[in-house]
Chains A and B, each alone.
Chain A
């Protein structure tokens, strides 16, 4: 077979891969979100109890916001209200997230939920992940949890 044919075949296969993958991402988002929130509860006790070392860092929220815009907003929305379209990352302002211990959020960022589309973010150094946690927690101050939740 000539190189041109191989190239065409490979290109076609790559396009098919892209399309099928994109289609596979459109599943029932509500169930998916509930499953993702439930992942926070799977954080081991030791991880949940970790204290954010940047809890008193005055720049942590601002830095976390920039990191969020760079790495999270694509799926979770510009203000963490939840993604739209095929990249439906869950709303991060909900009580399930806002009431979670910082250590649990850090654990989820570090480990991802790979089978459900949430990547592992261990590529970000630990301080940057803690800065993200600070930013996420700051969103709860803007939108208080609905009545009846902790």
Chain B
């Protein structure tokens, strides 16, 4: 699969995103949260496609630091259903650059109206190899030492996993508060593994500005995430698990772009000492309508 060895160069991802965008949609300011790991109950608007590129730089004790990156295509199928497709890759310094795999997730809003706590069900299928270092979720006994294997060795390990999340989220007094309970199962007869993600965020200003501006306080959303593993079915708890705390910031530009930045810190000796995440995303409004036109529907 030579093409898959060549494909995951970051520039190719960036170029693909850039090429997708020109004149596809009218620019609209997004209203995105700053989270990289946690999910809230706000789904994608129906018919809109959000294309996102994310990076994670991670330090590795007793090994080479790494840079993992992934592209997400997030589509609002219905007001209560969002589907998302990921392509993952990573570069381990002084080693190599490899394609890690893909993920496909679906999120379903359970309750029709807004409540104090809003549950969303999350179902994901992952087809990745052992080189996956996106750390999009931390479950079970995931620890820093798991990421030591050289890429050439790790890529031979093939993982097909199902991941379920119960997302509980509230929007109140300008704050978003989200709790994610995670259960993940490797389909090759491995036990269920568990994890969590907690997050809170708030725009720097709650009122909208009367004129368009890049640096208005309302465009900046500050927050914090905490996430980690909770062991597995046979050894549930904190023992031999890793945990992270990460302040995060999102900048929603009036042109429709969103920039995110989040330095993360390992909270125990099993965690990577430092993770620096950043991302850029753009929402394409009316993507569903565009697809309909491509297939000859004039309505």
Which of A3-11, A93-101, A137-145 is the contact stretch?
A3-11
- Contact call B292/A22, Cβ cutoff below 8 A: yes
Write out the residue numbers on chain B whose beta carbons fall within 8 Å of the beta carbon of A7: 102
Q: In the complex where A21-B78, A128-B207, A131-B207 touch, is A122 in contact with B114 (Cβ < 8 A)?
A: yes
Q: Chain A residues with Cβ under 8 A from B3's Cβ?
A: 4
Give the contact stretch, choosing among B41-49, B136-144, B180-188.
Answer: B41-49
For chain A, the count of residues having a C-beta within 8 Å of the partner chain is: 51
* C-alpha spacing A87/B48, complex, angstroms: 11
Most central of A10, A13, A118 by chain B CB within 10 Å: A10
Across the interface, do A62 and B210 meet the contact criterion of CB distance under 8 Å? yes
Contact of B286 among A21, A74, A111, A125 (CB under 8 A): A74
User: A22, B79: Cβ atoms under 8 Å?
Assistant: no
Say yes or no for B80: interface residue by CB 8 A criterion.
Answer: yes
Bound complex: CA A128 to CA B252 (Å): 15
Per the 8 Å Cβ criterion, residues 54-99 of B in contact with A are 73, 75-80, 83, 85, 99
Asked whether any CB of chain A lies closer than 8 Å to the CB of B189, the reply is: no
Tell me if A85 counts as interface (CB < 8 A to partner B): yes
Question: Known contacts A74-B286, A117-B79: does B208 contact A131 (CB below 8 Å)?
Answer: yes
Most chain A CB inside 10 Å of its own CB: which residue of B31, B73, B206: B31
Where chain A touches its partner, the secondary structure class is: helix
Please state if B80 and A128 are interface contacts (CB–CB under 8 Å).
Answer: no
A3 touching B288 in the complex, CB below 8 Å, given contacts A10-B85, A126-B174, A131-B208: no
Shortest A83–chain B CB gap in Å is 10
CB neighbours of A126 from chain B (8 A): 173-174, 206
Once the chains bind, are B299 and A14 in contact (CB under 8 Å)?
A: no
Q: Is A59 an interface residue (CB 8 A)?
A: yes
B171 located at the interface, meaning its Cβ lies under 8 Å from any Cβ of chain A in the complex: yes
CB-CB nearest in chain A for B40: A123
In contact, B73 and A117 (Cβ under 8 angstroms): no
Residues 204-228 of chain B, each 1 if its beta carbon lies under 8 Å from chain A, else 0: 0011111110000010000000000
* Interchain CB contact under 8 A, A127 and B207: yes
Q: A69 vs B210: C-alpha distance in the bound complex, in angstroms?
A: 12
Which of A11, A87, A122: most chain B CB closer than 10 A?
A: A122
A51 located at the interface, meaning its Cβ lies under 8 Å from any Cβ of chain B in the complex = no
Closest chain B residue, CB of each to CB of A67: B208
Report yes or no: A63 in contact with B210, Cβ–Cβ below 8 A: yes
* Residues of chain B lying within 8 A (CB to CB) of residue A110: 114
User: Is the Cβ of B79 less than 8 Å from the Cβ of A114?
Assistant: yes
Nearest Cβ on chain B to A103's Cβ, whole angstroms: 15
Interface assignment of B285: CB less than 8 Å from any CB of chain A:
yes
Q: Which residues of A contact B171 (CB under 8 A)?
A: 122-123
- Please determine whether B297 and A119 come into contact, CB atoms closer than 8 angstroms: no
Among B77, B206, B210, contact of A21 (Cβ-Cβ < 8 Å): B77
Interface check B101, CB cutoff 8 A: yes
For A109, the closest partner residue in chain B by CB is B114
Top 9 A-B residue pairs of the complex, sorted by shortest distance between their CB atoms = A62-B210, A22-B288, A125-B206, A59-B210, A63-B208, A21-B77, A111-B113, A122-B171, A123-B42
Would you list 28 pairs from A and B whose C-beta atoms are within 8 A, ordered by A residue?
A3-B4, A4-B1, A10-B102, A14-B75, A14-B104, A15-B291, A17-B77, A18-B291, A22-B47, A25-B288, A26-B299, A59-B210, A67-B208, A86-B289, A111-B113, A111-B114, A112-B112, A112-B114, A114-B78, A114-B109, A119-B45, A119-B46, A122-B42, A122-B114, A125-B206, A127-B208, A128-B208, A128-B218
Given contacts A10-B104, A63-B209, A69-B28, 4 further A-B contacts (CB under 8 A): A14-B85, A74-B45, A122-B171, A128-B207
